[in-house]
Structure 1
Amino acid sequence: RVANIVSHEIAHMWFGNLVTCAWWGNLWLNEGFARFYQYFLTGSVAPELGYERRFMVEQYISALSVDSVDSAHALTNPDVYNPTTVWNHFSTITYARGACI
């Protein structure tokens, strides 16, 4: 678990710190890349942990499940204009679906 979190934060050094979106409406790009690379990097460093398979179970299936309901929001949203609407975009759709794309 520690390696997974560290990998996520290392990915944020690139996607979020050095390269970032102009506005919060594209938050899924930063978080999606970080979530994908946390599994990719952890799987590369410790292949015995099976993070390639875990990605499919933990992220892909989760994204499909959450995205299948009528209340699912779009990944990109230009109407993010205050702290409340920004906070609403930190969701499973943003992280899991963003990582799967």
Structure 2
Amino acid sequence: MMNAHANLQVWLDTLSNTRPSIVVPYVRSAQDSNIRYRVEVRKHGPGGSSTIGQGGDIHTQAGQATALSEFSLNVAAGDECSITLSLSANGQSASTYHFACPR
């Protein structure tokens, strides 16, 4: 899934053949950018609730995909799960992207 806003493309990749799944959020910018990011994963289901949060600052080069972080995720049948990614590029206001968790 890819979303575009303010010259940014954002998507998630799932590394194949891993258990639990390894999820990697990526960003690509049309220009060199300093990006501040925050990833939040919320999961709720019969086994309980959990939240994962990661964030930081990265520098991207124009046109090159850059991984923001990496996290493992185990989603069981009956779980509700979502991933929210907030980005702020070059000091501009944050853009927020919402994804369903990969299964």
Task: Give the TM-score band, short-chain normalised.
Answer: under 0.3
TM-score (ref. length: structure 2): 0.28
Q: Select the structure with the greater relative contact order (CA < 8 A; seq sep ≥ 6).
A: 1
Structure ranking higher in strand proportion: 2
Structure ranking higher in helix proportion: 1
TM-score (ref. length: structure 1): 0.28
